[in-house]
């Protein structure tokens, strides 16, 4: 029996060579996977896409399809003093809360990871409680605590900027502890021990060895803490004072009497702002390494 040109393969030495005209299903599978991933991303981003799209609708009452497109709703939001003042207050509050929360969160993470003391596990669970307690429950509890503290100390706390900052710091500490704690678990203790054996004291080891290794987690903690504080409504609502509203509260108050694409325009502006913050952060620290 003689061999024909239809043989499936030809062995030369130890290498198996497939015919050039054989079936190739790998590219089809690869494109199918890419199409599936694209559909998943579109599904996840569809709320953001629709919010930005709605912000350009010409009609005051949202209808599909729209009669036209305009940027007048962005101008309307810009002229609204409540949105401008709320944005500035939210920006200041988020900046203070993220910095304070990250400092305290890093200190707490180092203490819980590097030291053994009575009540260590209980302290860690208490610091992580804001992640599991509903926001409105935390807001009311904080409000009642502030009222009792005012009666005891005879000072104003509710409605002050300092009271808001302290409440938001308690909200942002758990995010820092989760990210920094996960990074500390991956750091080899022998690196810090080697620095101390070479003559570095505890503080020098912390500043020159530990914190640089934690930089990606710290930057990610600042980013997440800023976003959580900037967007928070439930905890902030019982604690704001007269004439002082954050941007989420200003949006809620606007929705009580108006229902037009102005809210979509404000939301689109927040999406762009937070997106820019994430892009700037990712330029210095790759978020994919810590998220």
| Domain end point (choices 17, 46, 70) | 70
Q: What is the CATH number of the domain that holds 243?
A: 1.10.3720.10
Question: Read out DSSP for 71-127?
Answer: SHHHHHHHH-HHHHHHHHHHHHHHHHHHHHHHHHHHHHHHHHHH---TTHHHHHHHH
Q: Take residue 285 and report the two structure tokens written for it.
A: 């620290």
Residues 45 and 163 in one domain: no
Residue 22 forms part of a structural domain:
no
- pTM for the full model? 0.75
- Identify the helix (H) or strand (E) that includes residue 17: strand 15-17
Q: What is the pLDDT along the chain (291 residues), one digit of tens a residue?
A: 444 444 444 444 455 555 555 555 557 778 888 888 888 888 888 888 888 888 888 877 777 777 778 888 888 888 888 888 888 899 899 999 999 999 998 888 888 887 787 877 888 888 888 888 888 888 888 899 989 988 888 888 888 888 899 999 998 998 888 888 888 877 777 777 787 777 777 778 778 778 888 888 888 888 888 888 888 888 888 888 777 888 888 888 888 887 778 888 888 888 888 788 777 766 666 655 555
Q: Angle at the Cα of 265 (from 261 to 269), degrees rounded to 5? A: 165
CA dihedral 194, 199, 203, 208 (to 10 degrees): -60
Residue 162 forms part of a structural domain:
yes
**Can you give the residue range of the structural domain that contains 268?**
74-289
Residues 202 and 245 in one domain: yes
Residue 53 forms part of a structural domain:
yes
Residues 112 and 120: beta-carbon distance below 8 Å: yes
| Domain end point (choices 70, 100, 126) | 70
Residue 116 forms part of a structural domain:
yes
Residues 94 and 212 in one domain: yes
Q: In degrees rounded to 5, what are phi and psi of residue 82?
A: -65, -40
| Domain end point (choices 70, 102, 123) | 70
């Amino acid at each position: 029996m003689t061999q024909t040109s239809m043989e499936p393969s030809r062995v030369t030495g130890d290498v198996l060579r497939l015919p050039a005209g054989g079936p190739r299903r790998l590219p089809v599978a690869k494109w199918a996977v890419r199409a599936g991933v694209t559909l998943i991303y579109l599904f996840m981003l569809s709320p953001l896409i629709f919010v930005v799209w709605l912000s350009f609708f010409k009609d005051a009452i949202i209808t599909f399809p729209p009669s036209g497109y305009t940027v007048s709703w962005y101008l309307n939001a810009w002229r609204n003093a409540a949105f401008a003042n709320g944005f500035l207050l939210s920006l200041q509050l988020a900046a203070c809360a993220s910095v304070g929360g990250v400092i305290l969160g890093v200190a707490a993470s180092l203490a819980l990871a590097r030291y053994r003391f009575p009540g260590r596990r209980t302290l860690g669970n208490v610091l992580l409680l804001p992640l599991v307690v509903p926001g409105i429950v935390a807001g009311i509890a904080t409000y009642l605590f502030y009222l009792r503290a005012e009666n005891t100390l005879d000072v104003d706390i509710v409605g002050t900027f300092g009271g808001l900052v302290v409440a938001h710091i308690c909200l942002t500490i758990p995010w820092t502890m989760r990210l920094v704690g996960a990074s500390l678990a991956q750091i080899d203790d022998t690196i810090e021990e080697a620095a101390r054996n070479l003559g570095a004291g505890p503080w020098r080891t912390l500043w020159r060895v530990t914190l640089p290794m934690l930089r990606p987690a710290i930057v990610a903690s600042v980013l997440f803490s800023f976003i959580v504080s900037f967007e928070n409504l439930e905890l902030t609502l019982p604690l704001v004072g007269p004439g002082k509203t954050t941007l989420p509260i200003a949006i809620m108050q606007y929705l009580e009497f108006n229902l037009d694409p102005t809210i979509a325009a404000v939301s689109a502006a927040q999406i762009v702002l937070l997106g820019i913050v994430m892009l700037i952060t990712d330029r210095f620290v790759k978020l994919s390494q810590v998220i």
